[in-house]
Structure 1
Amino acid sequence: MKLSPQDLEKISKLTLQHYNQRCGDFWEGTRHHDVSQNIAALLQYLEGEPPYTLLDFGCGPGRDLKVFAELGHRAVGLDGAAQFAEMARAHSGCEIWLQDFLKLDLPHHHFDGVFANAVLFHVPSQELPSVLLQLHATLKPRGVLFSSNPRGNNTEGWNGGRYGAYYDLQTWQRYMSDAGFIELTHYYRPSGLPQAEQPWLASVWRKP
């Protein structure tokens, strides 16, 4: 069923409201999560000499943004939740762009890498192709995009006050390929567990 502009507005508003109202709890619940595997997965495929210009897409309170900055990279954060943007600015000291994912305004050919950790699943499937094309356009040639999403059976809808879309590997690969990306690798997280106990699908993609 096609979502109307009013539906999309509601999805953005309520999902962002969910995070704005729970920003403190979210920070306490995620600040110590170890995503070093994901950060390394992005950085290892970047070409040229560092420091790199990176976009932390859906940066939340700035946990990973601070890591990128401490590694010496030029990191910019983007989030749609005003409370997260404020927290990320204070925590990381980086430039933060407050933008709704469905109303992006990104510079062309600007970033060496995009880090989209636990965020793109919030984009309704009918809008995902447009968002991916915009992320493709904001990357420099040969730029790299990292994505991690909770995997599923290609269903979407409301889950605890947040909207989410949950894809299997084949469907995610199709979305990314259609947007012009070439797959570099994918893996499931947390590492070291049977796949049935790995709810996260991580993947790395290059812009030709």
Structure 2
Amino acid sequence: MSIENDSPQDMAMQEAAERSTLAHYDQVAEQFWLGTREHDVSQNIAALLSALPAERPLKILDLGCGPGRDLIQFTALGHHAVGLDGSESFCQMARENSGCTVLKQSFLELDLGEAEYDGIFANASLFHVPRPALPEVLRHCHRSLVEGGVLFSSNPRGNREGWNGQRYGNYMEYDESAERLHQAGFEIIEHYYRPAGLPRSQQPWLAIVARKC
């Protein structure tokens, strides 16, 4: 992945961040599956699908699919779901759990093709991308969507970047997230905070629906 103006030291940091984060998920893969398989993300799935054509099955990329929970749901709704994750353990689990095609790819070395997908579902995954690498990741997403395709992202919000134990996180609020998406060629359709119905101070998650333009 080529990131303009990045020094070798910056690239090494980004690669180390991804390597450590993926190693963590490989180590806790079974525990992660047991702890998240019942999480209700139906609001997020509905937000993506409501922005896309309803009259036909859709091709959806679950970017950072983990053990495959949401692949199962998209398939049950009649869509063609493809998973992608950098964790070998997650990829194996997702294939077994969902029966879907699952690509093992680093976010820093994405190869998504061109105009391949109607929608991309990036639920709790893009925040692991170091800030300098995010523009190129978003450009890959933009290129892989059909005309008018939609990217859904949900990430923990904040104004910091750095380590949380073995995992690396990039936490942004709405204005910066929207700016990054606009720069990559997206227009914002809607955004909301989760969990629903709580004061903003108790809503750590920011969800954004953005269309390729």
Q: Which of 174, 199, 205 is residue 179 of structure 2 equivalent to?
A: 174
**After superposition, where does 1:21-36 map in structure 2 within 5 Å?**
21-36=27-42
Return the TM-score normalized by structure 2.
0.95
Per the TM alignment, residue 48 of structure 1 is displaced from its structure 2 partner at its CA by: 6.1
Q: Which of 183, 187, 191 is residue 186 of structure 1 equivalent to?
A: 191
1:92 aligns with 2:98: yes
8 Å contact kept, 1:47–1:142: no
Per the TM alignment, residue 91 of structure 1 is displaced from its structure 2 partner at its CA by: 0.3
8 Å contact kept, 1:184–1:206: yes
Residue equivalent to 2:20: 14
Question: Relative to structure 2, which stretch is displaced further, 112-121 or 46-55?
Answer: 46-55
Q: How far apart are the structure 2 equivalents of 1:60 and 1:48?
A: 26
SS in 2 for 1:15: helix
Residue equivalent to 2:89: 83
CA RMSD of aligned residues (A): 1.2
**After superposition, where does 1:28-177 map in structure 2 within 5 Å?**
28-47=34-53, 49-153=55-159, 155-177=160-182
Identity %: 55
Q: How far apart are the structure 1 equivalents of 2:44 and 2:156?
A: 14
8 Å contact kept, 1:116–1:147: yes
Task: Tell me which stretches of 4 or more aligned residues in structure 1 moved more than 3 Å.
Answer: none
Return the TM-score normalized by structure 1.
0.97
1:204 aligns with 2:205: no
Paired amino acid for 1:135: C
How many aligned residue pairs are there? Answer: 207
CA-to-partner distance for each residue in 1:99-147, whole Å, 9 max, x for gaps? 0000111110010000000000000000000000000000000000100
Q: How far apart are the structure 2 equivalents of 1:107 and 1:80?
A: 17
Runs of 5+ in structure 1 lacking a partner?
A: none
Per the TM alignment, residue 11 of structure 1 is displaced from its structure 2 partner at its CA by: 1.1
8 Å contact kept, 2:14–2:133: no
Per the TM alignment, residue 204 of structure 1 is displaced from its structure 2 partner at its CA by: 0.1
Q: How far apart are the structure 1 equivalents of 2:46 and 2:128?
A: 23
